[in-house]
A = this chain, B = another copy of it.
Amino acid sequence: MRGMPDAIDADGLTVGQVSACLGVTVRALHHWDEIGLARPSLRTAAGYRLYTAGDLERLHRIVVYREIGLGLDRIRDVLDDSAADVPGALRAQRTQVAERIDRLRQLSAGLDRMIDAHERGLLLTVEQQAAIFGPQWNPDWPTEARQRYGDTTQWRQYAERSASRGPEEWQAVADAVADLDRALGDAMDAGVTPGSPEANRLVERHREVFASYFPLTRQMQVCLGRMYEADPGFAAHYDGIRAGLATWFRRIVDASARAHGIDPDTATWQ
């Protein structure tokens, strides 16, 4: 502000003065000059841009239309009379803006679902959960699972899928799990032995059903089998179907893994 040469009494303002006066950056003025949208009528001998009062008029109009979101091309059309229908252009712009708002609203809704899924694990009311997962279900389980596993990749994958699942989809998952549980119990009753084709088919079926939560490698499945046996909660669930089912399940998983070249005793999550 020191060397302000009071150039206003001269016949033009420099870029810096225009910038301060209109609230646009110097670079923007350069840009508009480059693309021919608003070039200064004058230059000093040294090449400084000088904007006259008429140039300022044009610049001001540009600023006005830029503020309502028009693209520079459209602004050029409006200023140069090449598109006579200004209200039409504005209306088209408004339509576009409305569409973008709609799109953003959908994004926002999707984000809400996704956040909810990551934090709660399940986008269902307690009543819906009870109706779908049956009387044994404990609504605190998702929260506990999140506290235990919330920072694993698998929880994230689970949450991503959960975000796009409604009651019907969860019902299908619950049905598939229940069917599998029954099939496991029946097979153990029928004396199916670990390593038999029948047992291996059930192990594969478990992998597929479980994949509705997150992708499960065979190694991970081995770890899961051991956890089912060791964890009191899981063991209670399986032994509640048939006494000894948790252990039997661990054994058929181990056998299947061995058949696929995996040593169940050194298998690792991942």
Contacts and interface: CB of A to CB of B under 8 A. Distances in A.
Interface of A: 54, 57, 61, 64-65, 67-69, 78, 81, 84, 86-87, 90-91, 93-94, 97-98, 100-101, 104-105, 107-108, 110-112, 114-115, 118-119, 151, 153, 156-157, 159-160, 163-164, 215
A94 B118 contact: no
Contacts of A163: 64
26 contacts: A54-B215, A57-B157, A57-B215, A65-B160, A68-B110, A68-B111, A68-B114, A69-B104, A69-B110, A69-B111, A86-B156, A86-B159, A87-B115, A87-B119, A90-B114, A90-B115, A90-B118, A91-B115, A94-B108, A94-B112, A94-B115, A97-B104, A97-B107, A97-B108, A97-B111, A101-B104
Copies in the complex: 2
Contacts of A67: 110
A182 to B, nearest CB: 29
Report whether over half of chain A's contact residues are helix, strand or loop; otherwise say mixed.
helix
A108 to B, nearest CB: 5
A141 B91 CA distance: 24
A104 B100 contact: yes
Contacts of A87: 115, 118-119
B90 A111 contact: yes
Contacts of A64: 160, 163-164
